[in-house]
Amino acid sequence: MLNDSELNIPSGRVKIRDLIELSRPLNGLLAFASVWAGAYMSGGPISIRSTFLVATAAVLALSAGNSLNDYCDIKIDQINKPERPIPSGRISRSQALLFSILLLGLSVMIGFQVNLGSLITIVSVCWLLSIYAFWLKRLPLIGNLVVGILTALTFVAGGIANEVIQGTLPLSVFAFLFTTAREIVKDIEDQVGDQAGFAKTLPLILGEKSAVWVVLFLIASGVAFSPIPYLIYGYSGLYLFIMIFGVDLVMVFLGIRLFLKPSQSNCAMIQKWMKWNIFVGLLAVCLGEPSRLLPVGV
């Protein structure tokens, strides 16, 4: 393990903004919104307290997972992401590990304040995040699938917080497919660093072209699933309109661009657009069910 002196960090002088950067606040915002979207889509009465607590626990767990990833990926990030807090020398690995443990502990403590289902979900997520960072991330496709599952679970967690999950399932499937696709695009982007770090990602094992085809299959599956809330769960035409023109067509365009030019710079652009596109999907969910009142409860 690298110590603080090896990374030129004065002991005890970690800046708050570096910890925030380490935790990836945009991802945390997405997780927070996803839990609320799951609660919104669940179809049952919404408890503001339970949903807020689970959403907060999700942010803490995800932040811990991001910190653990950087802790484990120091050699890879020195090549792929040298500007990040650990490889740039602003935070040591030991400080990142301590930060992760603290956040995971807080997340589980919050789970005790909700219900048994939420506690089990939060503990399971924390466990998955940990074994992903230390082991599963370096396995071809398995690591990508785990991230997709974790993303899908944020929506389900919103339903579990309110003890109704049926309405969350279509959005969870949609999120799983598109997130898994994005993770594989990130692996295509990071091939040089992953190879140096001996990671066994999909493009390194099966080849870049095969990885692109897997991404295209996942995008096509996500587009096919996106109308389900409209067709089965009674969501409005506004939902379908936003999904088709704000999400599906954008994903198809990104898939075509990836197929034509899977370069590192192009993959970097594509995976960032995929992340922002999930926000558009959440907007479609929030605006697509006009009969849902604002959540009121305890």
Q: Is the pLDDT of residue 160 over 50?
A: yes
Burial class of 11 by CB neighbour count within 10 A (0 to 12, 13 to 18, 19+): exposed
SS (H, E, C) 6-26: HHCCCCCCCCHHHHHHHHCHH
DSSP string, 123-173: HHHHHHHHHHHHTGGGSTTHHHHHHHHHHHHHHHHHHHHTT--GGGHHHHH
Tens of pLDDT, residues 117-157: 999 999 999 999 999 988 888 888 898 999 999 999 999 99
pLDDT of residue 259: 94
pLDDT of residue 241: 94
pLDDT of residue 4: 47
pTM of structure: 0.83
- Mean model confidence pLDDT for the chain: 86
Tens of pLDDT, residues 278-294: 888 888 877 876 555 44
pLDDT of residue 292: 53
Q: What angle do CA 290, 293, 298 make, to 5 degrees?
A: 155
Which stretches of 73-115 are DSSP H helices? Answer: 74-80, 93-111
Reported confidence tier of residue 102, pLDDT bands at 50, 70, 90: very high
- Structural domains in the chain plus CATH codes: 12-287 (1.10.357.140)
Pick from 63-67, 109-113, 195-199, 233-237: least confident: 195-199
pLDDT of residue 294: 45
DSSP string, 62-75: HHHHHHHHHHHTHH
